[in-house]
Amino acid sequence: MGALTIKNVCKSYGPVDILKGIDIDIQAGEFLILVGPSGCGKSTLLNMIAGLDGITSGEIQIDGRVVNNLPPKDRDIAMVFQSYALYPNMNIRRNISFGLEIRKVPKSEQDRIVNEVASMLQIDNLLDRKPSQLSGGQRQRVAMGRALARKPALYLFDEPLSNLDAKLRVDMRTEIKMLHERLKTTIVYVTHDQIEAMTLADKIAVMKGGIVQQFGSPRQLYDDPSNMFVAGFMGSPSMNFVPCKVVDMGNEAGVEIDGGAGTFRLPIKSNQLKSSVGQEVMLGIRPEKVTHKIESHLEDPNFHLAKCRVSIKEPTGPDTHIFVHMNGAKVVCRSNPDSAKEPGEEMEMMFDLSKMVFFDPKTEERLV
């Protein structure tokens, strides 16, 4: 079980800076997810933790030990690759035991570990086959088994589920979660899928352009995004952004919005932005915080009703997504299917004022 500390790590290839000062710190037993769009440097960072790639400056510690100059085999890590990277010429048993063999673990001990891992992952009956005879999901399990066999301080997962079909991906996601609950291992997991990040992680680092945009628990990132990128990246459908002007509403500041059925004003709670009256801001609100009228919330001062005009309606089954234009920006609202109105009609939408966040439209940073 190992903690991982990454201090001001930079990486550049010639003049190109790939990583620009990464700081991440997790406790032993935590599940860290590195998430971000393609080319954000998350896989590079993982390779550097593994020791497959050197760092330009900074420090990486595994279990309190600086590993900057250690080769991968001395870092006490195991890795699961996107393509699984099973050795095609060896059967499953040898694939799992190869690392033990190299480390000169006695044969009887190897057999015991292989059998233990195989039964944990339910691949006992596959041990004598070659990787080419397995399905994608089975290969995935073997790749995990190979990592588990060595019981390292740190497990690294490089987009392990992205080669699986949608259904299997959800199943394996749950299994990885269960495995983590059971073994309490420290895991660093790279993905570009924000749902995987939300469901699996104890801590998430959202990366873009070689910089950690925000590091925190899934809840923190979802409710308290530090900039528009994080806000838009986490959650599906993603957060709505409405450009609007701050207005004075007597006791508090508010924002003015035209929802296609007349303008209305939403008060901003907890005395935020009172000094910014007259300025342009970007309102961020999640689809599930703009809903149909919910009777039980009518008395709550945190909820506000306003009329908007429906442009499109998308039924998804449990909810219906209502598309509304507010100040020209497209806004998705999550409504109960029974309350959803038809396109062109006016509909009363209920805003959860306590969950509104505001960004500077120029810097895209969060406003206090």
Partner 1 sequence: MSSFSADTPHSSSTMGRIFIYGILLIVAGYFLLPLIVMLFTSVKSMEEIRTGSLISFPTSITFEAWSKAWSSACTGVECSGLSGYFWNSVWLVTPTVTISTFLGALNGYVLTKWNFKGANVFFSMLLIGCFIPFQVILLPMARTLGFLGLAGTTTGLIMVHIIYGLSFTTLFFRNFYVSIPNELVKAAKIDGAGFFMIFWKIMLPLSIPIIVVSVIWQFTQIWNDFLFGVVFSAGEAQPITVALNNLVNTSTGVKEYNVDMAAAIIAALPTLFVYVVAGKYFVRGLTAGAVKG
Pairwise CA distance, residues 229 & 364, whole Å: 8
If you count DSSP H runs as helices and E runs as strands, how many of each does the chain have, helices first? 8, 20
Q: Minimal distance in Å, beta carbon 218 to partner 1? A: 28
Pairing label, strands 346-352, 290-291: antiparallel
Q: Which is nearer to partner 1, 71 or 317 (CB)?
A: 71
Whole-number Cα distances in Å, 327 to 147, 262, 272, 331: 52, 11, 21, 10
Q: Minimal distance in Å, beta carbon 291 to partner 1? A: 45
Pairwise CA distance, residues 60 & 92, whole Å: 33
Q: Which is nearer to partner 1, 15 or 250 (CB)?
A: 15
Nearest to 158 by CA among 191, 116, 135: 191
Nearest to 208 by CA among 363, 46, 40: 40
Name 169's bridge partners: none
Pairwise CA distance, residues 185 & 182, whole Å: 8
Q: Which is nearer to partner 1, 50 or 207 (CB)?
A: 50
Interface with partner 1 (CB under 8 A): 47, 50, 52, 71-73, 77-79, 81-83, 85-89, 98-99, 102-103, 132, 146
Pairing label, strands 211-216, 203-208: antiparallel
Q: Minimal distance in Å, beta carbon 163 to partner 1? A: 12
H-type alpha helices, the chain: 42-50, 92-102, 107-120, 136-149, 166-183, 194-200, 218-223, 228-233
Q: Minimal distance in Å, beta carbon 315 to partner 1? A: 42
Q: Minimal distance in Å, beta carbon 223 to partner 1? A: 37
Q: Which is nearer to partner 1, 93 or 304 (CB)?
A: 93
Q: Is residue 202 a contact partner of residue 25, using CB atoms and an 8 Å limit?
A: no
Q: Which is nearer to partner 1, 50 or 126 (CB)?
A: 50
Give residue for tokens 């004022």: 353
Q: Is residue 210 a contact partner of residue 20, using CB atoms and an 8 Å limit?
A: yes
Q: Minimal distance in Å, beta carbon 105 to partner 1? A: 11
Q: Which is nearer to partner 1, 5 or 163 (CB)?
A: 163
Q: Which is nearer to partner 1, 27 or 135 (CB)?
A: 135
Element (H, E) at 188: strand 186-191
Q: Which is nearer to partner 1, 142 or 353 (CB)?
A: 142
Q: Minimal distance in Å, beta carbon 258 to partner 1? A: 53
Pairwise CA distance, residues 110 & 93, whole Å: 10
Q: Minimal distance in Å, beta carbon 87 to partner 1? A: 6
**DSSP one-letter code for 238:** P
Q: Which is nearer to partner 1, 43 or 213 (CB)?
A: 43
Q: Minimal distance in Å, beta carbon 329 to partner 1? A: 42
Collapsing DSSP states into helix, strand and coil, what is residue 107?
A: helix
Nearest to 134 by CA among 150, 149, 147, 121: 121
